[in-house]
Chain A
């Protein structure tokens, strides 16, 4: 393929990625940019060129052991819900932006530790990046020059330019904000897109090899099994090989947490904890898909080429051999994607660490103290940009000078072994509060030195001297010091061997020194905050123990230098609101110190933030015991506050209940008053009448006798009315108080109705109103017959009262319902106005309409009827829909 054509394709592809990143930054609120799938796909930055090309290489030489690198992450993923969630929570709480920040903060915000972790990471990752560049260069070479597809040692300029373009990409999209703990949505979106592309392109290549070049999976297997080394590469060589497997799986288990790029995508770029739930099944699925065809491509390559090519590039060579340029191009772009995402994210993560944990805390603090916010922001961004370019350039030169010697797989593993030196401090530190900074530093350095002796030194000596005597004879010719078989352990692969020894020495020195020494109070304070992160989450800035003297104004002016006045004011305002602190407060407390350190941490790293805030705050040492006491107290305070809050809620509830009860009582009181008022008024009316008539009579000597009789009649009638009223009032009170003893017997309801009609028939006849009782079958019910007669008589006399003479007709009817007997009393009178229907059963209904309604009768009849029916557990109501007159219904249970 033409060199320039390929370069054009590469440029177009890079432009496409720039565009995606640009779009994502512009639309940073879009749901296309903010979703769990972007998160899961960005985790797939794990699959670098090593996966894309290297797996096939290793599979063709040593069979399925390529899988170990993916088994570690897959095994780790169920743990993510527990471990990763904790890491994310702690990191968000402390605005952590890299693994160096995480470890150094955990051990008391130790500046040297942050720098050490950074150096280890750079040391491990730069060769790894150079390896990715090597893959680009080599595949570029293969695809442009079909005749010489062997590894080349010639510096290819295009790789250099691609490296520079990548650096520009990272520098542009990675330093948009000075706060490194903020998310880089542009970069993450391109990484996610690339993760899709590399997977799809690799699958296409796999399908092409398996089903087009060969006749399916069984065909490849059949043919491959004829090859000489087939037996060797598909079998599992006993216990020794088992140990190798186990160590490599452990290695990749650690790598998925500790690789700076993995920490960056999984922790710093995590938006919501719940995304983890998607990740724990989707990411393994992704890895599985990626590995489905590896073994078949490897076998296919072994069958098609006879050992004269770099097996790593079978995926690319197979389509080229069959003149399928388009597919080869696709494969190239897939590999290119894998490289870009790895290089971009690694450089981003490393540059943050280099600037925040190495350069700024060790050289630029004095400058910052004098600078203004704009200047400082520019300084910070420039330090990061220079870091990015330096890292990529160093990686490029490392590639030119060293990495052609090794395969993708071996350099990848060396990186993993070095990175694994962070594991003891990282994992144990998450759950054990004793680990001290001194122990971590010692353990890490011993671990790295071990790796240097057992893995790197042999490699470097080999390159420089061109012989292997160091490996074969050991240091000073001592057998036990052989770098690949230290103390006689000779059955492990160099990487597993190095991992075993370094991890053993690292962990044991970490544990021993931690147990022997006591950390300072700051270490213990952070240890508590990290380990009991969920306990202290609600304490927030309160979990930070600090004693000393500092002025708010000093801290404010320090924040101003980095955040600018506007952001500083806003942040402090929020802080004051959150803790209810007055704006006028002059002295800073521990919470403000911690809050301010966190504000600066994103921009300049935790170590620098502490030093800067420390420069304006006079801190007094606190003893370890005191730290524990203060933490315990603040935990207690929270518990007490919680209990108080609950109590106060209870009290509020009680008050509310009391209020309701009180309102009810007042209402009852008012009703009682009203009732008494009404009773008095009702009693006074006949008394007034009687008194007046008596006076008239006693004075009426010349009154005609018939008038006298009339007055006397009036007196008798009003006395009756008075007696009836008193009787009804007492009756109602008896029923209301529940003092009435019902004599309940089984009665036939129609007979009772007849009795009631008999009692009123004389008055009905007098008014010429007909009463019809539709008498059906015998219906039995349990009730007090006298009381029932009272109800029926009341309803009937009401009906009679409102019926027109001569035209009036009253109908009574009883029928069986499912669980009750229902009685209906209907008339064709003027009916009951709809607005009265709800009140008609109230005592002295006119009480509610004080001056307007006058009772016809005592005004208590329906109230009494209602009480009687209710004491029989029945219901009484008016049929509001009945328009031809009034229609009363009641039920009594059978």
Chain B
């Protein structure tokens, strides 16, 4: 069973994503910000992280940097989920090492397809 970590501070969005991925037989973990996410990631070593950018305390960029600089976490796939949709934002996210950049609002079905593709 694949493990997925959802990081977002909007509970309503998290709720939809949690329901969807559980149904697709993922082991789902939830974090409200970057700090919490790193904590869980170290403990559970998920296969993939869905990462919002604008969050309180530790933001998405910072979290990505930390994941990529940690030996045991380096291999985790990271997908940015953000309302920031300027070309420069997307480029920045990918350059920092994200595997995908998906802009909000997104289609849940498409998201699932993309994640599966990434994991296989």
Contact = CB atoms under 8 A, between A and B. Distances in A.
Please report whether the interface of chain B is mostly helix, strand, loop or mixed according to DSSP. Answer: loop
Given A696-B108, A854-B55, A854-B56, A680 B16 contact: no
Residue among A692, A695, A854 having the largest count of chain B Cβ atoms under 10 Å:
A692
A685 B104 contact: yes
Contacts of B54: 681, 846, 850-852, 854
A214 to B, nearest CB: 107
A688 B104 contact: yes
B9 interface: yes
A693 B12 contact: yes
Nearest to B111: A692
Interface string A648-687: 0000000000000000000000000000010011001101
B12 A854 contact: no
B46 interface: no
B104 A684 contact: yes
A679 to B, nearest CB: 11
User: How extensive is the interface on chain B, given as a class?
Assistant: 20 to 34
B107 A687 contact: no
A852 B12 contact: no
A696 B19 contact: yes
Interface stretch (A257-265, A711-719, A790-798): A711-719
Contact of A714 (B9, B12, B59, B104): B12
B20 A696 contact: yes
Interface residues of A, number: 28
Interface string B39-66: 0000000000000011111011100000
Interface string A685-721: 1011101110110011001000100110010011000
Contacts of A689: 10, 12-13, 16
A225 B49 CA distance: 128
A693 B60 CA distance: 23
Interface string A815-852: 00000000000000000000000000000001000111
Nearest to A687: B105
Contacts, number: 75
B55 A685 contact: no
A217 B57 CA distance: 101
A177 to B, nearest CB: 74
Contacts of B56: 852-854
A688 B52 CA distance: 12
Contacts of A850: 54
A695 B107 contact: yes
B115 interface: no
Contacts of A707: 19
Contacts of B60: 851
A460 B26 CA distance: 140
B105 A717 contact: no
B17 A692 contact: yes
A836 to B, nearest CB: 13
Nearest to B110: A695
Contacts of A714: 12, 15
B109 interface: yes
B84 interface: yes
A851 B55 contact: yes
Nearest to B62: A851
Nearest to A856: B56
Contact of A688 (B19, B61, B86, B105): B105
Nearest to A846: B54
A691 B12 contact: no
Given A681-B54, A684-B83, A688-B106, A854 B9 contact: yes
Contacts of A852: 54-57, 59
Contacts of A699: 108-109
Given A680-B83, A852-B59, A695 B13 contact: no
Contact of A711 (B9, B15, B84, B106): B15
B105 A711 contact: no
Contacts of B19: 696, 700, 703, 707
B25 to A, nearest CB: 15
B110 to A, nearest CB: 10
B13 A688 contact: yes
A758 to B, nearest CB: 30
Nearest to B55: A854
A695 B108 contact: yes
B83 A681 contact: yes
Nearest to B89: A677
Contacts of A687: 104-105
Contacts of A710: 15
A692 B83 contact: no
Contacts of A853: 56
Nearest to B81: A688
Interface string B1-42: 000000001101101110110000000000000000000000
B75 to A, nearest CB: 25
A684 B59 CA distance: 18
Nearest to A718: B12
Residue among A696, A699, A700 having the largest count of chain B Cβ atoms under 10 Å:
A696
Contacts of A846: 54
Nearest to A717: B12
A695 B13 CA distance: 12
A852 B20 CA distance: 28
Cβ-closest 10 pairs across A and B: A851-B59, A692-B16, A688-B105, A684-B83, A689-B12, A688-B104, A695-B108, A691-B105, A714-B12, A681-B83
Given A688-B105, A692-B106, 13 more contacts: A677-B86, A685-B10, A687-B104, A692-B16, A693-B15, A696-B20, A707-B19, A711-B15, A851-B53, A851-B59, A851-B61, A852-B54, A852-B59
19 contacts: A677-B86, A680-B83, A685-B10, A688-B104, A688-B105, A692-B12, A692-B13, A693-B15, A696-B16, A696-B108, A699-B109, A707-B19, A710-B15, A717-B12, A851-B61, A852-B57, A853-B56, A854-B54, A854-B56
Interface of A: 677, 680-681, 684-685, 687-689, 691-693, 695-696, 699-700, 703, 707, 710-711, 714, 717-718, 846, 850-854
